[in-house]
Amino acid sequence: MKKYIELLDSSNLFGWKIIEIKKKSTELYYILDKLETNRSTYETLYSVTVYVLNDNKVGASTFEIYPYMDNAEIKRKIELNKENAGFALNEYYELPRYEDFTEKKVESNLSGNPIKVLEKVKDAIFKVKSDAYLSATEFFLTELDERLINSNGIDVKQKSYKLNIELIPTYKDVETYKMLELGNVNITEIKKEVKELLNLAIKRYEAKELEEKENINIILENDEVAQLLSFFTDDLSYGAKYQHININELNDSVQGKIKGDKLNIKMVPNYEGCIGSRDFDLDGVILKEVSLIEKGIAKNRYGSFRFGYYLNEKPTGILPITLVKEGRKTLEDFKQNKYIRCARFSNMQLDSNTGFFGGEVRLGFYFDGKKEIPVTGFSISGNINELKKELYLSKEVVSLPNYHGPKYILIKGMKIA
């Protein structure tokens, strides 16, 4: 690291940044419940960004440094990227400066002996009973030590852990796929989720073409809930405001005349179990909680150091976790009326500029007033700008890599085709 700093300091730059990541990974690969491969890896990665100042405009270019590079090759890389940065100029902004920071110890039960942790998780998963089975399961337990240094005195560190479990639930000739991404291990919750995934494979096999395509309530769940609510958080970013593509100003009702649940959304640095958690962003800005929306009213904006500088706002940094207050009704409460609960999409899409969202549903559950029936072969579409007045958030919550909040959201007025 020291020699990299010396080379950068001698290169007549406006500024520079180095991100060092030390990554330890333990991996197990299973076919059915038989171990096929195991391996451990260790690597150190360096990502370097150089900044130049031309005609009072700032340009940046990023490159990687590898262990086999000598000083001469690194110097050539610096000069090449210094030239490249001159072709990507933005309005002038300062670079982040040193802030008082104490490294926080991340509490995680993934620390310790990785093999013992993985054995415990593996044993729990393979004990789950179902008519479906796991044709393949892969485990990746990673320990990350990250350090960020820049030319303005920033020097921050953090350690984090994450466990990825890649599952292929199978039933007869149907295979599905799911990647669990965990920052902590809760054996009870993992077994519950695996049981649910195995059941979904069975339901996917049993699913029939949806015939009744009347305009009834739609329920999104898990990742699609987080994706839909990003429409509101993206709109309150510094970048949206600076580029004049935002819809709402501060103190506006982001949902218009609200008939359903009022949104309460915060952006936070970390949340237990969310692997996206971090204490500083990739500019080195120390992250602190920001309340964006309170009872449906826009209260604050957030965003990167550069766009905060342009707006003359104190930069919050890129906050990684969306924290949404849960609703008052459970999934069981939603059963007062017919609905379709969308469990698996081929790929739901959301256009943050227009508000249009939707996609093809691979597996849904049509509630006919008495029971849920597995269905497939249909798509849904709508515009969140038109539907945002009447959203109903579930009391059940879920933790995803960058989201903690309602597991389900009920929407009225979507089109089904």
CATH number at residue 68: 3.30.2290.10
Same domain, 315 and 187: no
pLDDT of residue 106: 60
pLDDT of residue 112: 86
- Tokens at residue 76, please? 């050539």
Same domain, 195 and 77: yes
Same domain, 128 and 260: no
Same domain, 125 and 253: no
Last residue of a domain, one of 156, 191, 206: 206
Same domain, 244 and 181: no
CB atoms within 10 A of CB 84: 16
Same domain, 142 and 236: no
The CA radius of gyration of the chain, in Å to the nearest whole number, is 24
Bridge partners of residue 29, in order along the sequence:
37, 138
Same domain, 296 and 319: yes
pLDDT in tens, 73-90: 999 999 999 999 999 999
114 pLDDT above the threshold of 80: yes
pLDDT band at 190 (very low <50, low <70, confident <90, very high): very high
Same domain, 174 and 221: no
Bridge partners of residue 193, in order along the sequence:
none
Average predicted confidence (pLDDT) for the chain: 95
Q: What is the mean pLDDT of residues 384-392?
A: 96
pLDDT band at 213 (very low <50, low <70, confident <90, very high): confident
Q: Which parts of 167-316 fold into alpha helices (H)? A: 187-206, 223-235, 238-242, 305-310
Residue type, position 212, single letter: E
Last residue of a domain, one of 172, 189, 206: 206
Same domain, 284 and 373: yes
104 pLDDT above the threshold of 80: no
169 pLDDT above the threshold of 90: yes
pLDDT of residue 294: 98
Q: Are the CB atoms for 182 and 275 separated by under 8 Å?
A: yes
273 pLDDT above the threshold of 90: no
pLDDT in tens, 38-85: 999 999 999 999 999 999 999 999 999 998 899 999 999 999 999 999
pLDDT in tens, 277-288: 999 999 999 999
In terms of Cβ atoms closer than 10 Å to its own Cβ (0-12, 13-18, 19+), residue 139 is: buried
Last residue of a domain, one of 184, 206, 228: 206
- Strand ranges in 253-396 using DSSP code E only, listed in sequence order: 265-268, 290-294, 297-298, 321-324, 339-345, 349-350, 356-367, 372-376, 378-383, 391-393
Q: What is the DSSP letter of 210?
A: -
Same domain, 184 and 249: no
Q: What is the mean pLDDT of residues 394-416?
A: 97
105 pLDDT above the threshold of 80: no
pLDDT of residue 100: 76
Q: What is the mean pLDDT of residues 132-149?
A: 97
344 pLDDT above the threshold of 70: yes
196 pLDDT above the threshold of 90: yes
Evaluate the CA torsion angle 289, 294, 299, 304 in order and state its sign.
positive
Q: Into how many domains does the chain fold?
A: 2
Nearest-angstrom CA–CA distance, 344 and 115: 32
pLDDT of residue 174: 95
Same domain, 199 and 252: no
Up-side HSE of residue 238: CA atoms within 13 Å toward CB? Answer: 19
Q: What is the mean pLDDT of residues 197-211?
A: 96
Same domain, 30 and 75: yes
Residues spanned by the domain of 26: 2-206
Q: Are the CB atoms for 103 and 177 separated by under 8 Å?
A: no
Q: Which residues of 119-138 are buried (b: 16+ CB within 10 A; e: fewer)?
A: eebbeebeebebebbbebbb
212 pLDDT above the threshold of 80: no
- Strand ranges in 106-246 using DSSP code E only, listed in sequence order: 133-150, 155-171, 174-175, 178-182, 208-209, 217-221
